[in-house]
Amino acid sequence: MSVDDIFRRIAERSLSSNIFNDREVLRPDYIPNELPHRDEQISKVSSILAPIFRGERPSNVFIYGLTGTGKTAVVKYVLIKFEEYTSRFGKSSKYSYINCRYDDTTYRVLARLADSVGVRIPFTGLSTSEVFRRIISALDSLGVPLVVILDEVDSLVKKCGDELLYRLTRVNEELRKGKVTIVGITNDVNFIEGLDPRVKSSLGEEEVVFPPYDAVQLEDILSRRAIRAFKPGVLDDGVISLCASIAAKEHGDARRALDMLRVAGEIAEREGVCKVTKEHVLSARMEIEKDRVAEVIKTLPLHSKLVLLSLTIGGESRTTGDVYNVYRELCRYLNVDPVTQRRISDIVSELDMVGIINAKVVSRGRYGKTRLIKLNTDLDTLIRVLKEEERFEGIIKNFRSR
Ligand SMILES: Nc1ncnc2c1ncn2[C@@H]1O[C@H](COP(=O)(O)OP(=O)(O)O)[C@@H](O)[C@H]1O
Ligand SMILES: [Mg+2]
């Protein structure tokens, strides 16, 4: 979190707001105490885990659905209940929730697992099989069932392969007393197809699917959270249904819908008014889109950034050849080796695919075909993001003013 974020959050919280009653209720990591339209998934996940109360090993589960369909919220909600009941009925069991987007290496996942069974391991230095051995002996001496939740497990597999998953699904064969259940969660519906068939069948002992929400469901979800989040009467008519219908068009993502509602409230607050209107929602949508684009640009590799920079210099639209000439000039300026025009042409296609630029094939008569390339993103946002990188400052100052 940046210093701005930290100060802004605290400062905002200390101001008494005209708009918000409790804005935390709209944050993505808040777990509400009700999850409407997810009864089926909640009861399915709980019945899969329930055998723990008889001391049996629950089946492994594979949970999938697009982002913002409530997978993380449902699983965490069930885990809270699970803990409540295990302690109420004096059952001992453990669980370990790991988000593989943050802990995205085999070693870090294992370190987390070790931690949850009370084994401290150093940050680095041990081999994975040694860490495994220690986890297994801890599980055997604890003798309790362990549920391992691997959220966004595709991040781990994309980075490190499915070796760890394979070992985890086989770990029960090595245990004398403990029992391990794996709950794998993913936003990437195609991911499971690429897995080792043995991992696939073992992880998929049970499956729970999270379909996207429709506009009516999103409206219901938002309304219930809004009651706690906003002061009474601040939301204009149609604000919630507008957030819901925009998010429903973009694959039914509840996170997007909640973000839009929260940002709309923040914009109204900044303006010092005491009503959130549909115009605020539309501005919120644009603000969020800019953030998304900024995030994408930030993580691009160097040569893709240089292509974008080339497009900020000179005329409105140009051919791959034009872009390549400017690009080479920038490379010379930065003292980096340029890649081939062929590769630049691929980069142009990639940027076109994520929607940051627009590349249109046009015919040039007997000269054949070429692509006309245009920026398809807010220029100020693009410059602001690229400026954050020190080595681009000179380019932005010297080349753009020509
Ligand atoms: N049925 C629901 N009721 C209330 N809030 C929900 C519901 N489904 C999702 N949310 C909220 O939407 C956001 C995204 O949900 P999340 O569980 O993180 O999605 P996923 O893990 O599928 O990407 C979270 O803030 C979550 O609390
Ligand atoms: Mg999630």
Q: Note the pLDDT of residue 251.
A: 84
Cα separation, 195 vs 115, in Å, equals 27
330 and 397 in contact (C-beta within 8 Å)? Answer: no
Cα separation, 398 vs 402, in Å, equals 7
Mean pLDDT, consecutive 10-residue stretches, the chain (402 aa), reads 74 73 90 94 96 89 95 95 85 89 92 92 84 92 91 92 91 86 91 87 92 96 95 96 94 93 95 95 94 91 95 81 93 95 94 90 82 90 91 85 61
Cα separation, 229 vs 30, in Å, equals 12
Q: Which residues contact 140 (CB under 8 A, 6 or more apart)?
A: 175, 176, 177, 178
Pocket test of ligand 1: the residue of 25, 151, 183, 258 to mutate, having most ligand atoms within 8 Å of its CB, is 258
- Ligand nearest the Cα of residue 152 is 2
Q: Note the pLDDT of residue 402.
A: 58
Q: Note the pLDDT of residue 86.
A: 83
105 and 155 in contact (C-beta within 8 Å)? Answer: no
Pocket test of ligand 1: the residue of 255, 256, 260 to mutate, having most ligand atoms within 8 Å of its CB, is 255
- Ligand nearest the Cα of residue 36 is 1
What global pTM score does this model have?
0.82
**Residue 66, SS3 per DSSP:** coil
Domains within the chain, CATH numbers bracketed? 39-210 (3.40.50.300), 219-297 (1.10.8.60), 300-398 (1.10.10.10)
Q: List the shell of residues around ion ligand 2, using CB closer than 5 Å.
A: 72
Q: Which residues contact 94 (CB under 8 A, 6 or more apart)?
A: 116, 117, 142, 144, 145, 146, 147
How far away, in angstroms, is 177 Cα from ligand 2 center? 32
68 CB under 6 A from ligand 1? yes
Q: Note the pLDDT of residue 285.
A: 95
Q: Note the pLDDT of residue 50.
A: 92
